[in-house]
Amino acid sequence: MSKNYFRDLRLLALHAVLTEPHEYHWRQIHRFYSKTFFVPLPEVPLLDQEHVLQAYYETQFENQDEIQREEERLDLLKTDEDRLRESMEEGEEAAADAAFEAEADAMAEKQRLAEEKKPNIAQVHENTIPVPKVGTRLPPNISMKFISEEELEKTLEAASFEEADASNLVIKQTDGFPKK
């Protein structure tokens, strides 16, 4: 017995569950029969396999609801031609899914490339006009006049900004302001 005997068996078991070979299904059916009918597992392969399978399938159908049983009945009544046609349709659907995934991947790649082309913040700062810091003087072509809250309220209540007592205010009324 090798050092990794149990690990190797676990790997074989996992592989069987994932790939579901023919032998795996037989072992699964034998385990079911052994548990359900209290027959030692090594004795199940010695029994009539038709009897074992009949019991297995009957129990499966008994545990299904009516809708599942009807779906199973319809599936069992399909001809080989029906199954071939369905597999071809599934192949077409798989091809359409693959085309969709390829298109989505292409769009994602295009978006990623566009993101790479966007300038980084250091490049943006090189091309912007510097904003004066608080406490520094404004350029001579810009002036700022502060008004009181009362003057602001009068300005906002006026029918238009032109009528208000705000001689230096250049803003004109738009649809967003209330009218009197």
User: Is pTM, for the whole model, over 0.75?
Assistant: no
* Lowest mean per-residue pLDDT among 10-14, 40-44, 100-104: 100-104
The domains of the chain are located at 7-63, 69-106, 146-180
The answer to whether residue 165 scores a pLDDT higher than 60 is no
Q: 30 with 41: CB under 8 angstroms?
A: yes
Query: pLDDT of 110-127, one tens digit each?
Result: 888 877 777 666 565 565
Residue 105 has pLDDT above 90, yes or no: no
Phi, psi (deg, nearest 5) at residue 22: -55, -45
pLDDT at residue 170 in the model: 47
| Count of Cβ atoms closer than 10 Å to residue 44 Cβ | 19
**97-100: long-range contacts, CB 8 A cutoff, minimum separation 24:** none
Say which residues have a Cβ less than 8 Å from residue 145's Cβ, sequence separation at least 6. 168
The residue-averaged pLDDT of 91-96 equals 79
Q: Helix, strand, coil: what percent of the chain each, to 5?
A: 65, 0, 35
